[in-house]
Amino acid sequence: AMLRASAKNYKWTATVVNPNKYDEVIAILKENECTIPIEKRAELAGEVYAATAYYDSLIANYFENYNKQESKQINLSLKKEYDLRYGENPHQKATLYGNFSKIFHKIHGKELSFNNIIDINASAQLISEFTEPACTIVKHTNPCGVGIGENLSAAYNKAFATDTVSPFGGIISFNRVVDLETAQTVHSIFTEVIIAPEFTDEALELLTKKKDRRLIVCDFKNIAKYNQTDARSVVGGLLTQSANLKLVDESTLKVVTNRNPTPYEYRALMFAWRVCKHVKSNAIVYTKDDATLGIGAGQMSRVDSSRIAVEKAKMMGLDLTGSVVASDAFFPFADGLLQAVEAGATAIIQPGGSVRDEEVIKAANENNIAMIFTGMRHFRH
């Protein structure tokens, strides 16, 4: 819709592309003898050029995709959704652009913060890795617990057992409809956000009793549609890459040790690998086949990440005997593997690719460890 507001004798004109401004412009014309002050004309002109630029960018992107051309420039077509109270910290300004609200619909609670949105994005991508009834608990974009079970309550209890301290103020995600039983299970803990594809009326009646808790309905079926490109701002520009949507490549997945993983170990290894993909590097994840046991994230040394994962498991009273380990990148030395052996792990999954792979494989064989090389790395910065 467009309105052309004309001044007397067509001396000045202004094009209005925002229907919400129609009444305002009409009032200005009436109050100013059919003239529009230059400040208002400049404001309206800016909105016109923004609208045409948006339209042109959609056309340019369509033809580039149609002809599969290599892009020589980025044509961003993101409309403003809303301003946030502040950014990552109170002294920073923040605004949300794009289609976030098409995927994540807040049905209860106070407005989302910048940090809420970042964590919601991380949590939803992690829970999307699972088809079984699953629960993920995320804090500062890292999972502090992941569990799968016969129902959501069982999955939550397994996820929560990994770390009973960090979930406070965290983000809980479910990949099934949250019913009253699940709501009763999580209601007592303070959480910033609960995400699910749907909530029953009974669950909502209970969960909405806490006014500050945000409840988000997520359109999980369409996450992949809006998650094709990963973009990061850098000083002076924008860094883009295709989204990390793959988990493994069957052509490069292979057992490299004398002993093959048992069926149980293989299930546990693939569970651990799904979680590890979403942990900040350096990432080390100890798991069973249905729950995380210890997570080490974001350390400069892989050995330090492993040490933290083991220590956190011990703090929670979790036994790592018979556990498996996932590492998002290769072990550069055998010490990381030996640390896992000492903790009680029996199987390891890692990308491989180190110049010392043979040394690491030898150490695994000497300790009767089954090890899988994925040939695919999952760094997350």
**Active-site residue identified among 8, 93, 102, 209:** 8
Active site residue 11: no
Backbone φ and ψ for 318, nearest 5 degrees, come out as -95, 130
Distance separating the N- and C-terminal Cα atoms of the chain: 43
**Amino acid letter for position 198:** E
Q: How far is CA 123 from CA 60, 356, 377, in A?
A: 33, 34, 20
CA dist., res. 169 & res. 183, Å (int):
16
CA dist., res. 182 & res. 195, Å (int):
12
Q: How far is CA 199 from the centre of its chain?
A: 21
> What are the start-end ranges of the H helices in 224-321?
263-276, 302-315
Active site residue 8: yes
Total Cβ atoms within 10 A of residue 274: 22
CA dist., res. 371 & res. 41, Å (int):
68
CA dist., res. 287 & res. 213, Å (int):
30
What is 177-191 written as a DSSP string?
A: -B-HHHHHHHTTS-E
Contact present, 113 and 121 (Cβ < 8 Å): no
**Active-site residue identified among 80, 102, 139, 140:** 140
Annotated catalytic residues are 8, 140
